[in-house]
Amino acid sequence: MVDSNASSGSPEETPNPNPDGNAPSESDVTLDALARKVQESLSLGQKHKFWETQPVGQFKDLGNSSLPEGPIEDPTPLSEVKQEPYNLPNPYEWITCDINSEEMITEVYNLLTNNYVEDDENMFRFNYSKEFLRWALHPPGYFRSWHIGVRVKTSKKLVAFITGVPARIRVRDNVVNMAEINFLCVHKKLRSKRLAPVMIKEVTRRVHLENIWQAAYTAGVILPTPVSTCQYWHRSLNPKKLIDVGFSRLGARMTMSRTIKLYKLPESTVTPGFRKMELHDVPAVTRLLRNYLSQFIVAPDFDENDVEHWLLPKENVVDSYLVESPETHDITDFCSFYTLPSSILGNQNYSTLKAAYSYYNVSTKTPLLQLMNDALTVAKKNDYDVFNALDVMHNESFLKELKFGPGDGKLHYYLYNYRIRNELKPSELGLVLL
């Protein structure tokens, strides 16, 4: 259910090569486009032996309008689902990870911090905090059996990890119980052992045991077959640091002082009634969010428990703000972002890049541009270095205007055992996976 060729089922963080909007030379653009086309054709041309055995959309079926939308394979009777775990190579054994245990979460944290997603230049690596991992893996109705580790039998060292959490995801008019698969990570020294496919099969088996037959996942590489392909955009909040660590570069004919001035934000938010979300706001935010998400082809089906878990502010994990009308006290608008720092590799002055990731944003009365500028303002005030956003939902409408620059990687969304006939535009997608 996740990429079997890389260490991750998560978005790659991609430095912004052109933060100031100064166009690269024509020859750079042409070469870059050519290199990308060659790379993509090579990716598509490769045989995905593992994925060709799975109930996922296949490249050979692209454009075949006779295939029905919906589940690709029917559920198996639960009595026929394999009851025993898949076999691992002899030196390794399965464990179920208790994320509530301080000892266990420390092991998982260390494995991910040292071996999880890096950018193409090996300059940055995701650094999910322990609090973030507990939040991400303990939504309402979670299954502990879906938090899966692989240990070395002799040393008991944790060397691989994969997780699933339950989610209700609406595809057009059908609400489908799914697993969201994430955190597929194999220790760097074991990448040749082909552990990833057996881990994917094992998490699939455990998901099936709960009578769930579909899943959603993302990857930075092309597999059979994306339901949508999105791009990350980056907004500098601390441009000097981003340039110092190589995340972005000084634009042509730009000085550092001009760059700092370009990205300057207001000292405080401008929208009357803009405040942090609180527990008593959960019903109003749920109504606002459900109404907004109903317009997208694929989106989560959130209830109040989900909104309380995923969107109620948690320090250094998730931040949510709303606009309460000073006159009517109605909740009219909402914005949120989660915190995902990256380790900075090999820099003497800095070890961590503090990044905010746009989550769910709803604008009904306040213009989205103004709402997101307020979100940038509070992120800057809280010492974030960069604010990242995918071009999903209505995000495209504010990216350029608010001085976001496009990253150099794509994020591909996938559904397991569920076919969507035509690839969705990012603006038709209402789903953000961590």
Give yes or no: residues 171 and 235 share one domain: no
Query: Both 302 and 246 in a single domain?
Result: yes
Which pLDDT does position 251 carry in this prediction? 87
Q: Please report the pLDDT score of residue 234 as a whole number.
A: 97
Number of H-type helices and E-type strands within the chain: 10, 17
Same structural domain for residues 138 and 96?
A: yes
Residue 8 lies in a domain: no
In a domain, 19, yes or no: no
Are residues 252 and 216 both part of a single domain?
no
Domain count, the chain: 2
The reply to whether 149 and 267 lie within a common domain is no
Per-position DSSP letters for 214-225, written without gaps between them:
EEEEEESS--S-
- Does a structural domain hold residue 11? no
Give me the domain span that covers residue 120: 26-222
Q: Does any domain span residue 12?
A: no
- Do 138 and 31 lie in one domain? The reply is yes
Q: Model-level pTM?
A: 0.89
How many angstroms separate the Cα of 268 from the Cα of each of 137, 271, 272, 356?
A: 34, 10, 11, 18
Q: Is residue 10 part of a domain?
A: no
Do residues 133 and 173 share a domain?
Answer: yes
- At residue 63, the pLDDT reads 78
Residue at which a domain ends, from 222, 256, 273: 222
Please tell me whether residues 80 and 130 are part of one structural domain.
Answer: yes
Q: Tell whether 98 and 216 lie within a shared domain.
A: yes
Q: What is the pLDDT of residues 30-66, one digit of tens each?
A: 445 444 444 444 444 455 788 888 999 888 888 788 8
pLDDT at 48: 75
242 and 206 co-located in one domain:
no
Task: Show the low-confidence residues of the chain (pLDDT under 70).
Answer: 1-47
Q: Which residues are catalytic?
A: 434
- What are the structure tokens assigned to 278, written together? 């609180």
State the CATH number of the domain containing residue 199: 3.40.630.30
Find the CATH number of the domain harbouring 346: 3.40.630.170
With beta carbons less than 8 A apart as the criterion, state whether 184 and 162 touch: yes
- Residue 243 sits in the same domain as residue 189: no
Asked if 106 and 193 sit in the same domain, the reply is yes
Q: What angle do CA 279, 280, 283 make, to 5 degrees?
A: 100
